């Protein structure tokens, strides 16, 4: 068991393969805690050839004895949570005594999804391409100070009735000619509270006690740095802080509790939803990456947009999050390509750019500046040691580390837990060898 608490988070636009990385590192931790997002996430894990997709519950739940925490920074759709708990039970995994939900987490109300879809329709051409899970509207209510928290479902009924009435009338003002009755919503929420009760806890206190007892915690990010509400490609982002800062606010832990940060990055780039993607490819090459990498959204099934590795993005992520190492995933997807490219900067009408710009007009007009390297014919698929990789693949990884400014502590060469290289001497080996 390691003593360092580490964060595992996305360094690009999400879907980097965090599920597998969290899953394989979990045996080294007593607790896995999620700090933001909701069931918009989709973490796919393969165990003994069986596929699990978890949306809300940390994938650490697949390991018996590990405690999984849903923090106050997460927005919880109780129905989605129950569905996941039931599905896990059906597959033989019980969450009893191992799942904790923050009493301060905000609840996604039944009509938040409807508001999400409506808001997208109203944006027309400027739509975000959300997952339609009601995530944005739930966070809007939280920041608008009319949200309903998990503890409210268990507290004074009169007070809950007042909150629900207020919230529903705010909704009715948004949706023209709508007269939704607050009472059925209230009844439903009371029922949800009853079922959630055994899991509800002061997770900040639990984490504090866990760490004080010398046990280690993994902080699991959802979405990714470029989808962060503050540091991502705003407004084409999710509505929470997916980058490292979200850990402190989303779980109630101090910055010094975070002993290391692992950024998960694909050996190329993908994105779902709208917004600029400077290295985006079209045509045959994009199709090939999409099919080989099975690049379809695990929550929505949408085809992901694919492009070359963008070192400007990962360098930026390294700065925002203080990355100690990269977990490089899906290297095997590039097997067999005649050449591979790395974007090291952008050419824009306003000059050359090497730092990630805030202004989306700059990003939309950015022409990637590429370095082209030879591809490899011998497969990397399934490699477990760095010296098993073809020389060209090693060179690609080494160059990618140089231009990103961070070492790869782990390289994933397939979807199974075993198809992984842990780089000798790098941070991941140190974290996992205590």
Question: In 10 A of CB 432, how many CB atoms?
Answer: 18
Q: Catalytic residue numbers?
A: 15, 43
Q: What is the largest CA-CA distance in the chain?
A: 68
Classify residue 120 by burial, with Cβ atoms within 10 Å: 0-12, 13-18, 19+.
Answer: middle
Q: Is 128 in the site for ligand IMP (CB under 6 A)?
A: yes
Nearer to ligand IMP, 98 or 266 (CB): 266
Nearer to ligand IMP, 17 or 136 (CB): 136
Shortest distance in whole angstroms from residue 43 CB to ligand IMP: 8
Phi/psi of residue 91, nearest 5 degrees: -90, 5
Contact by Cβ (8 Å): 239, 144 = no
- Cα distance between residue 227 and residue 229, in whole Å: 6
Nearer to ligand IMP, 30 or 131 (CB): 131
Binding mask 236-275 for ligand IMP (x = CB under 6 A): x-xx--------------------------------xx--
Q: Is 133 in the site for ligand IMP (CB under 6 A)?
A: yes
Q: Is 40 in the site for ligand IMP (CB under 6 A)?
A: yes
Stretch that binds ligand IMP, among 24-32, 219-227, 369-377, 396-404 (CB under 6 A): 219-227
Q: Is 412 in the site for ligand IMP (CB under 6 A)?
A: no
Residues 6+ apart with CB under 8 A from 72: 102, 103, 104, 105, 203, 204, 250, 251, 252
Nearer to ligand IMP, 281 or 393 (CB): 281
Q: Is 14 in the site for ligand IMP (CB under 6 A)?
A: yes
- Cα distance between residue 66 and residue 71, in whole Å: 16
| Contacting residue, 6, 15, 98, 289, with ligand IMP by CB under 6 A | 15
- Cα distance between residue 225 and residue 234, in whole Å: 11
Strands (E), 298-398: 305-307, 309-310, 325-329, 339-348, 351-353, 367-374
Stretch that binds ligand IMP, among 122-130, 177-185, 396-404, 406-414 (CB under 6 A): 122-130
Binding site for ligand IMP (CB under 6 A): 14-15, 40-42, 128-131, 133, 135-136, 222-223, 227, 236, 238-239, 272-273
């Amino acid at each position: 068991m390691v003593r360092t608490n580490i964060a595992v988070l996305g360094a690009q636009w999400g879907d980097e393969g965090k599920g597998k990385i969290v899953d394989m590192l979990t045996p080294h931790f007593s607790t896995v805690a999620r700090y933001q997002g909701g069931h918009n996430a989709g973490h796919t894990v393969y165990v003994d050839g069986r596929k699990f997709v978890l949306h809300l519950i940390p994938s650490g739940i697949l390991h018996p004895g590990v405690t999984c925490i849903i923090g106050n920074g997460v927005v919880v759709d109780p129905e989605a949570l129950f569905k996941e708990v039931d599905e896990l039970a059906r597959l033989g995994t019980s969450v009893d005594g191992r799942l904790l939900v923050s009493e301060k987490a905000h609840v996604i109300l039944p009509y938040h999804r409807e508001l999400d879809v409506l808001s997208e329709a109203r944006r027309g051409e400027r739509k975000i391409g959300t997952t339609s899970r009601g995530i944005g509207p739930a966070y809007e209510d939280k920041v608008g100070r009319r949200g309903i928290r998990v503890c409210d479902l268990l507290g004074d009924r009169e007070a809950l009735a007042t909150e629900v009435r207020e919230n529903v009338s705010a909704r009715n003002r948004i949706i023209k000619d709508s007269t939704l009755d607050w009472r059925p919503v209230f009844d439903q929420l009371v029922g949800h509270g009853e079922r959630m009760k055994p899991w509800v806890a002061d997770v900040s206190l639990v984490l504090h006690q866990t760490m004080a007892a010398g046990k280690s915690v993994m902080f699991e990010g959802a979405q990714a740095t470029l989808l962060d509400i503050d540091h991502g490609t705003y407004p084409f982002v999710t509505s929470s802080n997916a980058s490292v800062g979200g850990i402190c606010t989303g779980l109630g832990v101090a910055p010094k509790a975070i002993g290391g940060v692992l950024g998960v990055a694909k050996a190329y780039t993908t994105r779902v939803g709208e917004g600029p993607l400077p290295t985006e490819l079209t045509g045959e090459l994009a199709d090939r990456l999409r099919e080989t990498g099975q690049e379809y959204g695990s929550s929505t099934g949408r085809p992901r947009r694919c492009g070359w590795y963008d070192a400007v993005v990962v360098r930026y992520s390294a700065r925002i999050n203080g990355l100690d190492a990269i977990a490089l995933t899906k290297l095997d997807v590039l097997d067999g390509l005649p050449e591979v490219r790395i974007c090291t900067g952008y050419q824009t009408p306003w000059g050359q750019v090497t730092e990630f710009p805030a202004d989306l007009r700059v990003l939309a007009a950015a022409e990637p500046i590429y370095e082209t390297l030879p591809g490899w014919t011998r497969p990397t698929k399934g490699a477990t040691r760095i010296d098993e990789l073809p020389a060209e693949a090693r060179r690609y990884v080494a160059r990618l580390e140089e231009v990103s400014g961070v070492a790869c502590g782990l390289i994933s060469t397939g979807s199974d837990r075993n198809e992984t290289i842990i780089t000798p001497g790098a941070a991941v080996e140190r974290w996992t060898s205590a």
